[in-house]
Amino acid sequence: MSWKRFTLVFIWTLFSVLWILLLTVHDKEWWIGTNNINNFCDLINAVEDDDTRDVGILVTLPLFFPVLYALFIKKKRFALLYIATFAVAGFWLWRFYFRYQWCF
């Protein structure tokens, strides 16, 4: 694998993770650890319903367009691209969906 591919995948992964983190931070996450709010699930139960995930999902979905272009149009397939794509997609799913669904 060339250093150009590695650099592009690394930059895309870093940018994607930072963009997802920026758009999934709950505005009151700093409350965790104060009073009766010990974790994220307690925070969701304590705060009124001001969920903005729907906007964040729409804004972050275009992050996957370069990967789709590389995989399906340019037919560039190598292991690092698959690993980075699955890692970013898993992180995306965790931040937007799973951490909200696993609060019992």
What pLDDT is recorded for position 19?
A: 93
- The low-confidence residues of the chain, meaning pLDDT below 70, are 1, 49-52, 104
Residues 9 and 15: their CA atoms lie apart, in Å, by 10
What pLDDT is recorded for position 50?
A: 65
What pLDDT is recorded for position 17?
A: 95
What pLDDT is recorded for position 1?
A: 65
Residue 80, amino acid: L
| Domain count across the chain | 1
What pLDDT is recorded for position 87?
A: 95
What pLDDT is recorded for position 7?
A: 94
What pLDDT is recorded for position 104?
A: 58
What pLDDT is recorded for position 37?
A: 81
Mean pLDDT of the chain: 84
| C-beta of residue 92 within 8 angstroms of C-beta of residue 53 | no
What tokens appear for 69 in the block?
């272009």
Q: Identify the domain containing residue 42 by its residue range.
A: 3-101
